[in-house]
Structure 1
Amino acid sequence: MPISRIAVGNPIEVGQPEALKAGLAEFISVLIFVFAGEGSGMAFNYVTSDGSTTPAGLIQASLAHAFGLFVAVSIGANISGGHVNPAVTFGAFIGGHITLSRSVLYWVAQLLGSVVACLLLKLATGGLTTSAFSLSSGVSVWNALVFEIVMTFGLVYTVYATAVDPKKGNINIGIVAPIAIGFIVGANILAGGAFDGASMNPAVSFGPAVVSWTWDNHWVYWLGPFVGAAIAAVVYETFFISQDTYDQLPSA
């Protein structure tokens, strides 16, 4: 079982140059991703009178996040693994591919990257609101929780299949993985964006919440992605990664 490979790690490793470089890579990747994704929503609301959950708004958000995530994963893949998402990091931790110590470093870097991106957007737009994720009318927290679990399961399962699986081949990490990961996020936004915003990424939800100081139902955007990521990691590790082919995911 993958849970038997969970490693706490040594806190000392967080201060090593290689780990700090990986953390910086996660910070920059998340900053780029959130700036593009959140900024696209702000731009759409600025130039139109329609909401971001209209058909046009969902298509715009889907494309912006798919393109932005493709770039963010690509530029971080060779340094930090290109997680760009605390839930992806958690899934890798559950599968034994990253220690808890390094996971905490990644989480801090990812959250800071999102906050800085939203602050930069607020500065660049002259104080426009960075809208926090929220539930649409008629959508309960439990509906949203299921959406986040299922969508993040699909995302992390895709990460495992294209980037983590030792049978993936060298070409996937540089080409196929970022494309597939970007596509699944874009598709999930089209599926769930009208209901709860389709976060799948606690960092993406955290930055706008901090800058706008809006925390309504914010826990949904943490619990859902972490549960979905854990399920995906356990399923893929248990059924598709055999013990004789298991290989530790490089952290750099």
Structure 2
Amino acid sequence: MPISRIAIGDASEFGHADALKAALAEFISMLIFVFAGEGSGMAYNKLTNNGAATPAGLVSASIAHALALFVAVSVGANISGGHVNPAVTFGAFIGGHITLLRSILYWIAQLLGSVVACLLLKFATGGLETSAFALSAGVGAWNAVVFEIVMTFGLVYTVYATAVDPKKGDIGIIAPIAIGFIVGANILAGGAFDGASMNPAVSFGPAVVSWTWSNHWVYWLGPFVGAGIAALVYEIFFINQNAREPLPTTDY
């Protein structure tokens, strides 16, 4: 069972050069992703004078996030595994692929990367608002939690299938683009309802900079639950535990 492989780790990890380099890579990847993703939304608002959301705007957001995540995962893959998402890190932890202490390092770096990206956007745009994630009219908090669970399940399941599974073979080459594609597709599915975060750090940065916390818990609970379920399902049903070999950091 994957739960039996969960490891706390050693406190000395906080001082290991490799762990610190991995955390820095997560910080930079998250900054790249949020700057492009959040920035595309701000650019759309500027071009439309903060007009109502349109299908074209949703498609633009989907494409921007898919492309940015593809790059962000790719540039971090050989250093940190290219998680670029606290929920992905949590899924890796549940599956026994990363220790809790290294996960904490990643989470800190990811959250800081998102906040710094939003601060840079606010400064570079002359003070334009970095809009926090919010629920659309008629969408309740628990409706949004279900959206986030299902969308993040799809994301983390894709991560496991293309990047974590020891049997992935050559399909690992397309992991970054597959991960970008599923996020882009999920934005088309859920963007009009709750913004389609799937990533607590992506929600955290704009919330801090705009100081808007309404229903913010939704964007933590949903992704973490979805990630945990995906990790357990893939580990239990699709990874051969008897033949499993530990994955080096460079693989994930």
Shorter-chain TM range is over 0.9
**Pairing of 1:192-207 with structure 2 (within 5 A):** 192-207=190-205
**Pairing of 1:136-215 with structure 2 (within 5 A):** 136-169=136-169, 171-173=170-172, 175-215=173-213
Equivalents in 1 of 2:171, 2:202: separation in Å? 25
CA offset digits 1:199-252 (Å, max 9, x no partner):
000000000000000000000000000000000000000000011231223224
Q: What residue in structure 2 maps to residue 130 of structure 1?
A: 130
**Pairing of 1:83-102 with structure 2 (within 5 A):** 83-102=83-102
Offset, 1:50:
5.9
TM-aligned CA distance change 1:246 to 1:131, over 3 Å: same
In structure 1, give the amino acid aligned to 2:74.
S
Report the secondary structure of 1:106's partner residue: helix
Mark the runs of 5 or more structure 1 residues left unpaired by the alignment. none
Aligned length: 250
TM-aligned CA distance change 1:6 to 1:92, over 3 Å: same
In structure 1, give the amino acid aligned to 2:178.
A
Q: Which consecutive aligned stretches of 4+ in structure 1 deviate over 6 angstroms post-superposition?
A: none
Q: What residue in structure 2 maps to residue 75 of structure 1?
A: 75
Q: Contact conserved, 1:52 with 1:58, CA < 8 A, in 2?
A: no
What TM-score, normalized to structure 2? 0.97
Equivalents in 2 of 1:146, 1:53: separation in Å? 23
TM-aligned CA distance change 1:50 to 1:59, over 3 Å: farther
Q: Contact conserved, 1:166 with 1:247, CA < 8 A, in 2?
A: yes
Offset, 1:191:
0.1
Equivalents in 2 of 1:155, 1:137: separation in Å? 26
Mark the runs of 5 or more structure 2 residues left unpaired by the alignment. none
Q: Contact conserved, 1:81 with 1:250, CA < 8 A, in 2?
A: no
In structure 1, give the amino acid aligned to 2:18.
E
Equivalents in 1 of 2:52, 2:11: separation in Å? 42
Equivalents in 1 of 2:104, 2:249: separation in Å? 14
Report the secondary structure of 1:111's partner residue: helix
In structure 2, give the amino acid aligned to 1:221.
Y
Equivalents in 2 of 1:131, 1:23: separation in Å? 26
Equivalents in 2 of 1:230, 1:54: separation in Å? 33
CA RMSD in angstroms, aligned pairs only: 1.0
In structure 1, give the amino acid aligned to 2:65.
H
Offset, 1:11:
1.4
**Which of 226, 230, 233 is residue 232 of structure 1 equivalent to?**
230
CA offset digits 1:87-121 (Å, max 9, x no partner):
00000000000000100000000000000000000
Report the secondary structure of 2:44's partner residue: helix
- In percent, how many aligned pairs have the same letter? 80
What TM-score, normalized to structure 1? 0.97
Report the secondary structure of 2:214's partner residue: coil
